[in-house]
Amino acid sequence: MSSSWPNLSELIVEKGADAPVGMVGVPLDAGSVTPGRCDLAPGVLRATLRRIGRYDVETGKELSTPIADHGDVPIAGLSIEEAAPSIVAACKGSVERHELTLLIGGNNAVTRPGVHALGLPLDKIGLITLDAHFDMRDTSQGLGNGNPVRALREDGLPGANIAQIGLAPFANSAAMHRDAIDGGHLVVTIAGVRAEGIDRAVGRALDHLRHCEALVVDCDIDVIDRAQLPGAPGARPGGMASHDFFIAARTLAADPRVRLIDLTEWDPPLDSTDLSALTAGRWVAECLAGFEQR
């Protein structure tokens, strides 16, 4: 029953309920380039949902889609390699039951098992990243939050199936950039986003992946300008405006090929205010608003 303040927490239902959207918490922090507490993010997000309203004054529509919460994957103390099978299994269970799954990280290493959870050959899956980084660090020393895209390429994901939006200056290496371009990635830097607008950038990404049967969207929250998102260790000044991040999330969630969207690299204790939490909560609302446009 709707309260006098209809809010997102009212849309959360038990995992066994019949719901078009599923949510899986993956509190992974192992292997982070900058150690922190990204593992706290799923719990803080759930607590924040009651502060996010359901009515969009700009469209005149109220969100109504139930979200089946599958809880957090029990991975405390595990390495990325050890945790991966459990993450894949939990996300696969959600993907099979729901049209869209929201994967709440955790660090960016959750993206790789999220892609594998679709259960399709990798040449049929497309990956769109909203990220300041290429995530193409070397994997020879193991998996981490700096190399999920590299690891997926090594797994067999074609470079032509990858579109990356929001890459930041002085946050990547020349070798990563070269490997991405040579591999066939679509690369849109943050300057490119400003020049052409977020709508055009997202449209180009979807067009680049028109040959893919299903899509995964990685929303690394450090793509947002650090002044607008203090709670991400990788965020830097000059990043994406939060309103562009919201537009991108809504637009991508509206594409029926998108089966899973993750939110990663949010480290709640880094932000002494509630700004980062409210941004993450608004992301859930934008994903639902996009889904309801399908």
Q: Which of 147, 131, 149 lies closest to 139, judged by CA?
A: 147
Percent of the chain with pLDDT over 90: 93
- Give the pLDDT score at 3: 62
122 vs 173: CA distance, rounded Å:
26
- Domain range for residue 132? 8-291
- Domain-located, residue 118: yes
Q: Find the angle CA(194)-CA(195)-CA(201) to the nearest 5 degrees.
A: 75
Instruction: Say yes or no to pLDDT of 69 above 80.
Output: yes
- Domain-located, residue 157: yes
For residue 1, what pLDDT band results from cuts at 50, 70 and 90? very low
Q: What is the 3-state secondary structure (H, E, C) of 59-77?
A: CCEECCCCEEEEEECCCCC
- Give the pLDDT score at 281: 98
Q: Which residue has the tokens 């957090």?
A: 72
Report the predicted TM-score, pTM, of the whole model to 2 decimal places. Answer: 0.96
62 vs 6: CA distance, rounded Å:
9
State mean pLDDT over 40-64. 97
Instruction: Say yes or no to pLDDT of 277 above 80.
Output: yes
CATH number of the domain enclosing 53 = 3.40.800.10
Interval 3-27: pLDDT, tens: 688 999 999 999 988 999 999 999 9
The answer to whether residues 239 and 132 touch, using CB atoms and an 8 Å cutoff, is: yes
- Domain-located, residue 2: no
What residues have CB less than 8 Å from 291, skipping those under 6 apart? 20, 21, 65, 99, 100, 253, 254
Question: Which residue type, as a one-letter code, is found at position 236?
Answer: R
Instruction: Say yes or no to pLDDT of 34 above 90.
Output: no
- Domain-located, residue 195: yes
State mean pLDDT over 137-153. 93
Q: What is the 3-state secondary structure (H, E, C) of 135-204?
A: CCCCCCCCCCCCCHHHHHHHHCCCHHHEEEEEECCCCCCHHHHHHHHHHCCEEEEHHHHHHHCHHHHHHH
201 vs 244: CA distance, rounded Å:
10
Q: Dihedral sign, CA of 15, 45, 216, 198?
A: positive
- Domain-located, residue 1: no
HSE-CB of 35 using CA atoms within 13 angstroms: 0
CB atoms within 10 A of CB 100: 25
242 vs 283: CA distance, rounded Å:
10
- Domain-located, residue 33: yes
SS3 of residue 25 by DSSP: strand
- Domain-located, residue 23: yes
Structural domains counted in the chain: 1
54 vs 86: CA distance, rounded Å:
32
